[in-house]
Amino acid sequence: MIALACDHGGYELMQTVKENLDKRNQKYKDFGTYTSESCDYPEIAVRAARAISSGECDKGIFICGTGAGMSMTANKIRGIRAAVCSDVYTAEMIRRHNDANVLALGARILPPELAIEIVGVFLDTGFDGGRHGRRVEMINALDEK
Ligand code: RB5
């Protein structure tokens, strides 16, 4: 189950992402926003991030204007490893090396076709483990009690 979160800046791109997830038969839970009216991205990101942290969802796709606010908020939540991606290589590596569980996208930066390609790579790429597992554990150990 994929947790989806966007603000007004990411709303339109999120509709395209949802169409693509439907084509892939990928299940998702949409935490909003549900219109293009201005809203506060931390409120939405935290709800979706907590659903990943609790195990209700496995991964997330969070979209705002730049991806920055969404990723900053998500990374405050225990167990979240969110990264902003604007290219396919980074999308592959945040899965292989960092076991990222949230992909943050900037709707004001990315052409929709590239965003969809990045989503596909994020969803289809596994974690390499090995020495990268040790490093991810080091990140996880930094979660504040
Ligand atoms: C909203 O205007 C914009 O600040 C937001 O979408 C995001 O880019 C913040 O990081």
Could you report the per-residue pLDDT of 96-121, keeping only the tens digit for each? 999 999 999 999 999 999 999 999 99
What pLDDT, in 10s, does the model give residues 28-68?
A: 999 999 999 999 999 999 999 999 999 999 999 999 999 99
- State in Å: Cα 128 to ligand 1 middle: 32
Return left, alpha or beta for 47; rule: phi > 0 is left, psi -120 to 50 is alpha, else beta. Answer: alpha
Is pTM beyond 0.95? Reply is: yes
On whether the CB atoms of residues 39 and 7 are closer than 8 A, the answer is yes
On whether the CB atoms of residues 80 and 103 are closer than 8 A, the answer is no
Measured from the CA of 70, which atom of ligand 1 is nearest?
Answer: 10
On whether the CB atoms of residues 80 and 55 are closer than 8 A, the answer is no
At which residue do the structure tokens 């979706």 appear? 48
Q: To test ligand 1's pocket by mutation, which of 40, 70, 72, 75 has the most ligand atoms within 8 angstroms of CB?
A: 70
